[in-house]
Amino acid sequence: MNMIEVRHLEKRFGDKVVLNDLSFAVAPGEVYGLLGPNGSGKTTTINILADLLSADAGEAWIQGEPISEKSKYALGIAPQMISIYRDLTCEENLRFFARLYNLPAPRVEERIRELIAMFRLEDYRATEVAKLSGGWKRRVNMAVALVHRPSVLILDEPTAGLDVSARFELWELIEALQKTGVAMLLTTHLLEEAERLCSRIGILSRGRIVAEGTMDELRATIVARQLAIVETAAEERLQQAAASLGWTWRRRGDRIILWLPEEMTLQEFVQRFVDIPLKSVALQEVTLEHIYLEHTGSYEVPDLAMV
Ligand SMILES: Nc1ncnc2c1ncn2[C@@H]1O[C@H](COP(=O)(O)OP(=O)(O)OP(=O)(O)O)[C@@H](O)[C@H]1O
Ligand SMILES: [Mg+2]
């Protein structure tokens, strides 16, 4: 049984179609990364899973339970907009949400102690949330989501606005949680974060998943085995030379990104373009960033009539 299952979800706001036949599933123990540009519908999907918003069509389940009052108990959510009470302390927030989930009184204090230790909130337990920095608010936001020991956790941009070391600590917490068997759905704009944390990734574009899989499976969705990032004043000649080798290219700003069908050394690369003045060349492995940009249509692609 999947921990989260979404089938053929549709959602529109007025004339705007946000989700258009969205389907994906999160298996037990998995950290699934839902990636997509601003406004692509990640938070909308999460709001539907949280029963805060109803879909126009389609279905969703949490641990086999259709979205309902009951499914809420299996699910913890750390929302993108921090949703804890600003005028309560960290400890008071944890207590408030523990009671909201009907945790038995003796379990409440025990769980608060566990979460304070896990999120290293000892120094701030009696501090009002309003007085915490953004990074600490995010930690409390995540601790609150776990108060009822959910088996499924949704993290909507959990590290947005965090400094490098705070982000690193949250990554470690997420990895520790995964080891305890909590399945997670995570959204992020940091592709490095998704690559590190997620066992599978789905790329959301135009309302549906346009590419999905492990990093290896995603790499296989584009023909490049390696990339050459090139700066040159002789762009057209470079593009024509690449086309005659049967290579495709993309543009990002003032750089041309050539898709190499096989790995090669810098020397092997340069030998193929001896007649073309190249300002700079950097060979790179294919990262999630390139795969993401490709599937979300953010690259300028070759005009085949031209080459
Ligand atoms: N209550 C609402 N009424 C009208 N439009 C809405 C509402 N909620 C969201 N939208 C629109 O739906 C689209 C998807 O928004 P959503 O917040 O789900 O995107 P997102 O993928 O989470 O983006 P981000 O990466 O910026 O968080 C946006 O165009 C947004 O303006
Ligand atoms: Mg969002």
pLDDT digits (tens, 9 = 90+) for 37-71: 999 999 999 999 999 999 999 999 999 999 998 89
CATH code assigned at 115: 3.40.50.300
CB 36 near ligand 1, within 6 Å: yes
> What distance in angstroms lies between residue 50's CA and the mean position of ligand 2's atoms?
14
C-alpha 185, offset from chain centre: 8
Same structural domain, 198 and 102: yes
pLDDT confidence band for 301 (50 / 70 / 90): low
Mean pLDDT over 196-222 rounds to: 96
pLDDT of 300 reads 67
Burial class (CB in 10 A: 0-12, 13-18, 19+), 251: middle
Residue 55, pLDDT score: 97
Same domain membership, residue 213 and residue 233? no
Q: Is the pLDDT of residue 245 over 90?
A: yes
pLDDT category of residue 72 using cuts at 50, 70 and 90? confident
203 & 188 share domain? yes
Residue 307 has pLDDT above 50, yes or no: no
Domain membership flag for residue 172: yes
- Same domain flag for 203 and 242: no
Q: Is there a domain that residue 58 lies in?
A: yes
Total tally of structural domains belonging to the chain? 2
Q: Is residue 123 classed exposed, middle or buried when 0-12, 13-18 and 19+ CB atoms within 10 A define those classes?
A: exposed
- pLDDT higher than threshold 70 for residue 273: yes
124 and 74 in one domain?
Answer: yes
Considering the domain architecture, whether residues 39 and 121 belong to the same structural domain is answered as yes
Question: pTM above 0.75?
Answer: yes
pLDDT at 211: 97
What average pLDDT does range 266-283 have in this prediction? 95
Give the ligand whose atoms come closest to the C-alpha of residue 48. Answer: 1
pLDDT level of residue 199 (50, 70, 90 thresholds): very high
Residue 248, φ and ψ in degrees, nearest 5: -100, 170
52 lines ligand 1 (CB under 6 A): no
Which of 219, 247, 270 is where one domain is finished? 219
Predicted confidence (pLDDT) at residue 222 exceeds the cutoff of 80: yes
Which pLDDT score, from 0 to 100, does residue 252 have? 87
The last residue of one of the domains, among 191, 219, 247, is 219
Give me the domain span that covers residue 285: 226-295
**Does 268 lie in the same domain as 164?**
no
Tell me how far apart the alpha carbons of residues 86 and 79 are, in angstroms, rounded to a whole number. Answer: 15
pLDDT score at 304: 53
First to last CA, the chain: 50
% pLDDT > 70, the chain: 97
- Residue 305 pLDDT exceeds 60: no
Q: Which of 9, 11, 16, 18 for mutating ligand 1's site (highest number of atoms within 8 Å of CB)?
A: 18
Mean pLDDT for the stretch of residues 213-240? 95
